Structure 1
């Protein structure tokens, strides 16, 4: 039996609310949008590259965003002692490069679990709270992380639009 990406109910972006509600709401909207771009596709379709020479795939985007969520929310901001996902010393782009042998169902489970863990890591933290980014030494706030993640998803959801259209012709917001 072939695994197929599940259908999700995409949450709508918030129209009113305090700053934290707006940031979390927009992040959730973009998270759901990525999943919506993958819905109904088989594991094989999720691994299909967009257009040569690009190797960009929808599964690669899911893997990448799980990695980025973990990196910014849990490792850098919250200081959790967890390893990066997918990447190795030999391949810093393994989340994109190693898709052919990846298990799509397992990667979607990792992605969903990572979202829960990231939300839990920052649930009671103040947007003004800062940390020093170990990869560059700059001081950043949790607010910055939220804004950066919304930007990261918005950019990659644009990529996902194009990849999905290439895979099976489906378009939409």
Structure 2
């Protein structure tokens, strides 16, 4: 576990996932840990730097990661799990299958974080409504809430690693 812990929190304020809990609390704890990690990595450098892509040839930016993960939250929890008929937040890339959001428009970090926070709030509600045995539908095939949460943990872990590399190149800050 990165950073020291004090009373169930890391020294940077993230809640440590429970070390002895049931499946649902453990999975939700890890997903929330990575959600908080993303915010920690993407806040602080200012709007100019969050738009920078310092790792050529990659065009990844911190702002793009926040926007993309808002789209991923919407897709997996609201559309796939809850069956809501809401449009995608951004234009998905048909070649890669990505949920979009990596491209930058006029939005700044505050707007992107507000959008992401709203999608996380709605995702938590969809997750709670589904319960531990909930099942959604992806292209007509059933997908369990467990699969979705594990997929989201992997999605966040991968993108938090990207954010860590980007942030280190931007201002030398590694880790959260």
Fold match by TM threshold 0.5? yes
Q: Is the 8 A contact 1:50 1:162 kept in 2?
A: no
Q: Is 2:122 the counterpart of 1:95?
A: no
Is the 1:14–1:25 Cα contact (8 Å) retained in structure 2?
A: yes
Counterpart secondary structure, 1:11? coil
Unaligned runs of 5+ in 2: 1-11
Contact kept in structure 1, 2:71 and 2:99, CA below 8 Å: no
1:23 deviation in Å?
A: 0.8
Unaligned runs of 5+ in 1: 1-7
CA distance in 1, matches of 2:144, 2:154: 15
Cα RMSD for the two superposed structures: 2.1
Compute the TM-score of the two structures, normalised by the length of structure 2. Answer: 0.84
Partner of 1:144: 147
Residue 117 of structure 2 is aligned to residue 112 of structure 1: yes
User: Aligned partners of 2:65 and 2:115: how far apart in 1?
Assistant: 13
Q: Deviations over 1:44-63 (max 9, x none)?
A: 11111032221100111101
The aligned residue for residue 164 of structure 2 is: 161
CA distance, structure 2, for counterparts of residue 94 and residue 121 of structure 1: 21
Q: Name segments (4+ residues, structure 1) moved above 4 Å.
A: 88-94
Q: Deviations over 1:35-93 (max 9, x none)?
A: 01012110111111032221100111101111001100001110112111122689977
Counterparts in 2 of 1:128 and 1:90: CA distance versus 1, 3 Å: closer
Contact 2:93–2:100 (CA<8 Å) still a contact in 1?
no
Counterpart position of 1:51: 55
